[in-house]
Amino acid sequence: MNFSLILRFVKRELRTSEARILVLALAVAVASVGAVGMFADRVKAAFANQANVLLGADAMISGDRELSKEFLEKAGASGLKTTESIRFGSMVTPRLNGATTDTAGAALSDVKAISAPYPLRGAIEVRGEPSAADPRGERIKLDPLKSVPNPGEVFIDERLASRLNLKAGDAIDLGKLQPRVAKVFVEEPEVAGNFLSSAPKVLMNVSDLAASELLGPGSRASYRLQVAGDRADEFAAAIKPKLGPGQRIETVRELRPEVRNTLERSEQFLGLAASFAVLLAVVAIVLALRRYLKRELDTATIFRTLGAARRQTLLHFLGQFFVLSLIACALGVALAYVAQAGLAYAVRGLFASELPAAGLAPLWRAFATGLVLLLGFALPPLVALASTPPVRALRRDMALPTGGGIVAALLGVIAVLGVVMLQAQDLKTGAIFVAGIVALVGAAALGAAALLWGVRRVTRARSRSAWQMGLANLDRRRLSTSIQIACLGLGVMTLITVGFVRTDLFAAWQKSLPADAPNRFLINVQQDQVAPLQSLLKERGQDANFYPMVRGRLVAVNEKSITPADYPNERAKRLVAREWNISSADALPKGNVILSGSYFAPEARDELSLEEELARDLGINLGDTLTYDIAGERATYKVTSLRKVDWDSFRANFFALVPKSNLDTLPKSYITSFHLPTNDLKTLPAIVNTAPNVLAIDVSEVMERVRSIVDQVAKALEFVFLFTLAAGLLTLYTAVVSTQDERRYDTAIVRTLGGTRRQVRDALIAEFSLLGIAAGALGVFGAIALTWALATRILKIEFIASPVVWIVGLVAATLLTLVAGWLGTRSVLSTPPIRVLREG
């Protein structure tokens, strides 16, 4: 292989429009993949940081006994920031005039003994002075390093302050101590986790703990080590096997399912946007490649004629192609870096903190994507090219070497599948995409055949209007027309789908989290309190469902006893170790979908409906029997259905549901959820009056965080969409100009033979209009199928038909094709035909 010859060829090739378009198409492909990937990574990291605020850290180890110092040392060795705290429940009473008072009441509080820095993620927020703009006082974040309570002081939250009528400067009784309230805070980060956070919060300095004598032998407390830093996930994975009994490690993903699902879905949405960029890139590359290879055929012929062996020719082309790809990929990566920086700058206001710095991994991925795509599609035609018979130098009209046909297509499909999977990081998404492409190409071939059949019938008529001439042109270039329709259709499909994902699919997701979603749970409701509470809530317009709940531990599957040690999976171990909430519902609860089996009838007995993920973790199948230990009694149920549960819904959801009759004789409490408007100050006191033992749990903060993540994803998607749109337009343009040479030549002949400019213009308009309509129709149908599949199979949200998007898509596709086609070919009208003919 003569490397200097290759470099010289590349240098010269870069002067030709064919090579330039190919390099540009590939660069745009790499740039879109890289920019979207990099931006998505940064946004994802920002979301993760925000979500970590819910935990106050990136990961947290907790245990019911003091934690081994080994964990702390390990975290330090991994370069992680750490903070230790102890959390427990305690009564708090205010001291009035320096003395305990019985009249001021007492409140069970959630006490946390902390030391600086606290928290590792997020901040404790207090209120500033009330102002006209914010009568309650603006929220101010405290510095985690400086603002923890000093010894002898505590911070209490607003709920405790209002319940006990306390303000900064007052003193409270906390164990044997009487600390002063230094600050009243609005919020501190750790709101996720379990429902315990319903009690008002007190933060104290850890050095006061011993003197307070709050924790004696046997006291219930949670000892925690929170860590934050780049290697937190790695640390969590390494620590997991070392945890002792009663200890656990949580990362934000293992927290509330609502948060976990929101994060996962955000990643899916952004990953999808990146996959679309890949798809568009593929179309542009295929088209540009076709034109480029056609040109290279002449070079191959000359090479062969001048005595280059097949291997020599192949090596030369491979080398040339590789260098071209490297240039394009490098250009694309540079573009990607600039574009993502631009994107990040454009959305700078949307995120609470600055976007985390971009890692280089997406750029490498984009670079590899470019190489894989180009070589995937180009390799078979290049091999064919190297076998060009030299006699083609004498007979230019001879058949072209077949470009690897099926092999080329197959390699291309594999390349796309690989790249899409890399983007979507999910086999199923990749498969749906590729199936979509294959189906669309098939449909395009059929559609184009039908269209051309129609065209032939029209053009057979005697009179030859300019329009008929244009249609006849399409028919003559049958293969090119079919390819163009397929590629344009694919472009249109992608653009419509992205638009659809951005608006409708997203709306469907947002709809799953409506403004009036339940934000309060009532637990510990007794049977005789259900009716009065139900009517109380009904008076306030809340139709609350009360679910009975018994606690039971799974002790046997199919009559065989089980222990946590039987399961390798961590989650399964936990599920077997703890008690479950078992509930009952006559009808399938809202937001639940039966995946297999059928939901039991109201009158059934000893049947059970199980949540599918849990069933999978525990290896439980339909028809298995599960035995629970419920308050010392054993109860056995047969699994008759597996359910998917909508964990995003903020409703009361259960892993196991059994028929009502099975719970009749068991001791049980009830749970419900309802929406409490922020300005409603009366409902909760009314509930407490009716049922003083009932615990009301506030999940509005978690919901707020989730909703804000969703809103930010929406904005990020808008920007990513703009990028995909730009790539899409370039693809459309490439598709249209791909037949420019043929069209220029044909037009020159027509003009030479006396065709007027007007005739030629009308013919071109007819041609492009028809192409646009065909591609638009194909694209719209493809988009409907694809979005349906995406909504129902991947994002698992409701598919909303939106005819307006479709009609707009069709019209826009037609107009865009027309405009792009016109811009790409109008020069033929002003170029003297002789010049075109001379250039061949």
Partner 1 sequence: MNAVNEGANLAASSSNAKMAITADRLNRTVSLGDRELVILDDVSLTVAQGETLAIVGASGSGKTTLLGLLAGLDRPNAGTVSWLGETINTLSEDALAKKRQGTVGFVFQSFQLLPALTALENVMLPLELAADADAESRATEWLGRMGLGERIDHLPRQLSGGEQQRVAIARAFAANPSIVFADEPTGNLDTDTGNEIIELMFKLNRDRQTTLILVTHDLDLAARCNRQIRLARGKVV
What is the contact surface with partner 1 in residues (CB under 8 A)?
Answer: 2, 5, 8-9, 12-13, 15-16, 298-299, 301-312, 389-391, 393-396, 839
CB of 320 to partner 1, least distance (A): 11
Sign of CA dihedral 701, 706, 708, 711: negative
How large is the angle between the packed helices 803-825 and 700-737, nearest 10 degrees?
30
CB of 392 to partner 1, least distance (A): 8
Write out the two tokens for 620: 């439980």
CB of 314 to partner 1, least distance (A): 11
CB of 299 to partner 1, least distance (A): 6
Q: Which is nearer to partner 1, 303 or 637 (CB)?
A: 303
Q: Which is nearer to partner 1, 198 or 305 (CB)?
A: 305
CB of 286 to partner 1, least distance (A): 22
Q: Which is nearer to partner 1, 183 or 291 (CB)?
A: 291
**Spatial separation of the C-alpha atoms in residues 620 and 821, rounded to whole Å:** 59
CB of 304 to partner 1, least distance (A): 6
What one-character-per-residue DSSP string does 379-421 give? Answer: HHHHHHHHT--GGGGT-TTSPPPP--HHHHHHHHHHHHHHHHH
How large is the angle between the packed helices 361-386 and 257-305, nearest 10 degrees?
30
Q: Which is nearer to partner 1, 388 or 497 (CB)?
A: 388
Let me know: does 582 contact 667? Beta carbons within 8 Å: no
Q: Which is nearer to partner 1, 12 or 578 (CB)?
A: 12
Expressed in angstroms, the distance from the first to the final Cα of the chain is: 31
Q: Which is nearer to partner 1, 680 or 839 (CB)?
A: 839
CB of 747 to partner 1, least distance (A): 20
The residues, any chain, with a CB within 8 Å of residue 780's CB and separated by 6 or more, are 492, 493, 496, 806, 809, 810, 813
**Pairing mode, if any, of strands 81-96 and 107-114?**
antiparallel
The residues, any chain, with a CB within 8 Å of residue 16's CB and separated by 6 or more, are 295
Let me know: does 59 contact 747? Beta carbons within 8 Å: no
Closest CA to 55 of 141, 146, 122: 122
From residue 156, give the alpha-carbon distance in Å to each of 135, 179, 184, 221, 440.
Answer: 21, 11, 5, 19, 62
Q: Which is nearer to partner 1, 308 or 411 (CB)?
A: 308
Q: Which is nearer to partner 1, 6 or 448 (CB)?
A: 6
> Cα 498 to chain center, whole Å?
14
Q: Which is nearer to partner 1, 395 or 460 (CB)?
A: 395
CB of 449 to partner 1, least distance (A): 23
The enclosing H or E element of 439 equals helix 427-459
Q: Which is nearer to partner 1, 7 or 823 (CB)?
A: 7
CB of 30 to partner 1, least distance (A): 24
CB of 464 to partner 1, least distance (A): 30
Q: Which is nearer to partner 1, 299 or 425 (CB)?
A: 299
How large is the angle between the packed helices 361-386 and 405-424, nearest 10 degrees?
180
CB of 459 to partner 1, least distance (A): 27
The enclosing H or E element of 29 equals helix 17-53
**Spatial separation of the C-alpha atoms in residues 37 and 267, rounded to whole Å:** 11
